[in-house]
A and B are shown apart, each in its own frame.
Chain A
Amino acid sequence: MKNFQQYLTQSEEIGFVEACNQSIVYASGLPNATLQEILIFEGGELGTVLSLSRDQVEILLFSKYSVKAGMRVTRTGLKQEIPVGFELLGKTIDPFGHPLNTSKPIEEPKTSRPIDISPTGINTRARIEQSFETGITLVDMLIPLGKGQRELVIGDRKTGKTSFLYQTILKQASLGTICIYAGIGKKKTDIKKVEAFFHAAGIEDNTVIIATSSEDPAGVIYLTPYAAMTLAEYFRDEGHDVLVVMDDLFTHAKFYREIMLIGKRFPGRNAYPADIFYAHARLLERAGNFVLANGTEHAITCLPVVESVEGDIAGFIQTNLMSMTDGHIYFDVDMFTKGNRPAINPFISVSRVGRQTQSPLRLSLNRELISFLTLHRKLESFSHFSAEAGADIKRTLAVAERISTFFTQGANEVKSLDLQIVVFCLLWIDYWQDLLKMEKDIAVINQTYKNSIGAQSLVKELVGSVKSLNELLLQVRKQQDKILSSFGLQQVTMTNI
């Protein structure tokens, strides 16, 4: 980037700082400045044109150090841009592409793209038809997602949202998807943790971290998710499926509110500016399943995160985001304290487009499970009245307990959905009676499956050959011995089928 004097000579336009209020600066002059243009101050600070009036230019500062009244400012003729390229994979950058981790030098990409653009129209979009695996059995079975879906991740602090995001990124990166983690106004230690996780999991080559810390200027924090989306669009156009995680949009909304209140915009509900919905919708609308010029389809799947306070999901920003996404995964603090991991509440969570991407088998499994869990929920509420339970009710409660154990998944542990479907069939046909034995067996199965090509091909064959849960249950019953033996489990005689 050139210096102030060079830009002044080039643009031949100058402004003088009239007033300065934290990250907002008002300057006179600059008669031909345009919205979102980058401006440079004589001290080297950067800013962008936020609004224009007859006599003044309102500038949003991107620099930490506040400018002073009387300072000179000039136009650069540049828009807010981020350098894009495969050189950024495995790197941690700020919204302008500068490396945050100086121990990893970045070869500067040759191309740049504007950070804030309008979403493309309907003619470039296609129906979401491919399923998106998160590696979390509960989500993949009960709240299935599709590639190109925008699924809100909502929950209180410390309820396992970040673990879920890590697991999803781990699963998707292992499937070849490029994953972009946008950390918005995070603590520097949190950004380091994400970096360390990606490094430890060996998925750095498929990931980019775009992060801003809470110490950064509000203007830079505001741009973080837009920059992440721009980078995602680049990888999509290069023929890759992309996952963008935005952690989190509640913080983004708060920083946007700060900027707009300092800029004397009229406050709306909860003091947020009137265009907060537009700011987020414009961002999330850039995700989806797209048809490229060469006719191929590539998706940008987006997982925006929003924090709820004391389980209240009816907050302003939360409901805004719910209405502009294709569903939400709710992390329930009560379930978390009861020990459920992941603490996802399947009854409050919604996936609006994921089911259309499911195979007939997965769809039938999903229906069966949902209807069973709904039944169990009703029975559970009756059991609170100490009513004497019949044999059927007792069996339902016992199976529900086993399903709950089946869905339990440790942090950073990802599972193959096909394997989980077969394991679920074993559970459904009452192979396990004892919970402890079931837990042990599942651990053995997961371990064996990772290393056994025979088990993997058997599972693939079983799941691929049937179209409904009933058909699969029939096959599992028929081939039970073979399945158990390939899973490395002791064969037992089935007496309770």
Chain B
Amino acid sequence: MNNPALFDQIIVKLRTTTEVTQVIHSLEEFSGTAFGPTDIIAQQQIFQKLPKEIADMLINSLTKQSPTAEGKILIKRQVNELLDKLRSCKSVKLTIAFQPDDATVSLFSDWIKTNTNQSALLDLQFDRSIVGGAQVIAGGIYKDYSVRKNLINRYQIQRDEIMELLK
């Protein structure tokens, strides 16, 4: 099996930083058991908490190796390699005013992966105070496309008119 290519596939499947954190925790847990008494079922259980598609990919690539000492060393090396890749993934922080459903998260993630990098992750934040729109942080650049900011700008420009309307 070509693991580097498989790892890239795993990363492409991951949508958000939360999912990546879950994978990292699972991998660290798996890594801790790698040199203990081999219990493949218990090891596979570790990945069951993850989304099914990713869990299957990890189980296939990491728990189906020969349980010899050399095999364990190889697995450990692969886990570390995958952990490094996951930790180095860039993320785009998106703050929105509503709690998105799973389809919306996929939509955002797909857009980001298509328009930036296939390994880019979505760091989704929920903040009702921005009213609508979104705040985006990527690579140290901050863009505020929120309704709140537009309202503030509008208020600064047309303060007198707005105050007149509110009377």
Contacts and interface: CB of A to CB of B under 8 A. Distances in A.
Contact of A29 (B140, B143, B144, B149): B140
B140 A28 contact: yes
B142 A12 contact: yes
Contacts of B141: 12-14, 31
B137 interface: yes
A74 B140 CA distance: 9
A42 to B, nearest CB: 12
Interface of B: 137, 139-144, 149
25 contacts: A8-B142, A9-B144, A9-B149, A11-B142, A12-B141, A12-B142, A12-B143, A12-B144, A13-B140, A13-B141, A13-B142, A14-B137, A14-B140, A14-B141, A14-B142, A15-B140, A28-B140, A29-B137, A29-B139, A29-B140, A30-B140, A31-B139, A31-B140, A31-B141, A74-B142
Contacts of B143: 12
Candidate in A12, A28, A30 with the most chain B CB atoms within 10 angstroms: A12
Interface string A2-14: 0000001101111
A15 B144 CA distance: 15
Contacts of A74: 142
Contacts of B137: 14, 29
Contacts of B139: 29, 31
Given A8-B142, A12-B144, A29-B137, 11 more contacts: A9-B149, A11-B142, A12-B141, A12-B143, A13-B140, A13-B141, A14-B141, A28-B140, A29-B139, A30-B140, A74-B142
A31 B141 CA distance: 7
B91 to A, nearest CB: 11
Interface in A1-50: 8-9, 11-15, 28-31
B97 to A, nearest CB: 18
B34 to A, nearest CB: 29
Nearest to A27: B140
Nearest to A29: B140
Nearest to B137: A14
A114 B137 CA distance: 31
A11 B137 CA distance: 13
Contacts of B142: 8, 11-14, 74
Contacts of A8: 142
Contacts of A11: 142
Contacts of A29: 137, 139-140
Nearest to B149: A9
A15 B149 CA distance: 20
A11 B139 CA distance: 14
A13 B140 CA distance: 6
Contacts of A9: 144, 149
Contacts of A14: 137, 140-142
Contacts of A15: 140
Nearest to B144: A9
A8 B139 CA distance: 15
Contacts of A31: 139-141
A106 to B, nearest CB: 30
Nearest to A31: B140
Contacts of A28: 140
A418 to B, nearest CB: 66
A327 to B, nearest CB: 50
B87 to A, nearest CB: 13
Nearest to B140: A29
A28 B141 CA distance: 11
Nearest to A30: B140
Contacts of B149: 9
B68 to A, nearest CB: 39
